[in-house]
Amino acid sequence: MAEVAEFVNHGAATITPSVVEQVVRHLPHWKLEFSQINAPQFPHLVDQLEFLANAVEDAADGTYKNLPFYAMAHATFALIYAHKKFGIIPDSLMDFGKADDSVVVRAALIQNQKAFELYAAVQGEDWSKVTSRP
């Protein structure tokens, strides 16, 4: 998992406020796209993506002001990665196409667990439902 964390950290380092702004404009469409993911081997992926999308939106529009930028950058990178149809493992592979998306999302959640747990609590969300498990 250390290699994945390094990959996510490197990707998050490329996220600027301008990139966040661009992603936020696309999030309504991406949320719809994410809700259509059918990956039974990764049962938490859709909820995790929705959680990260909501956190980024709320932090970007100032609704939630306590999300550190590094956590927002990790979340934004994970959302961008999950949106792309190509990655380390192509999405077209039936049983494994979302494995890399799941790992990237989990790495973003794990590395920023305290920040996201706080966000979940403020939003009245059950953190255990936004598990960092696959």
pLDDT tens digits, one per residue of 45-68: 999 999 999 999 999 999 999 999
What is the number of H-type helices and E-type strands within the chain? Answer: 6, 0
Give CA–CA dist 122/99, Å, rounded.
Answer: 30
74 within some domain: yes
54 belongs to a structural domain: yes
Contact 108, 77 (CB under 8 A): yes
Distance CA 34, CA 83 (A): 8
Per the structure, the count of domains in the chain is 1
Contact call for residues 53 and 119 (beta carbons, < 8 A): no
Tell me, yes or no, whether 99 lies in a domain: yes
Domain containing 122 equals 2-129
Q: pTM for the complete prediction?
A: 0.90
Position 134 in a domain: no
Q: What is the tens place of the pLDDT at every residue in 80-125?
A: 999 986 555 444 445 555 778 899 999 999 999 999 999 999 999 9
| 32 in a structural domain | yes
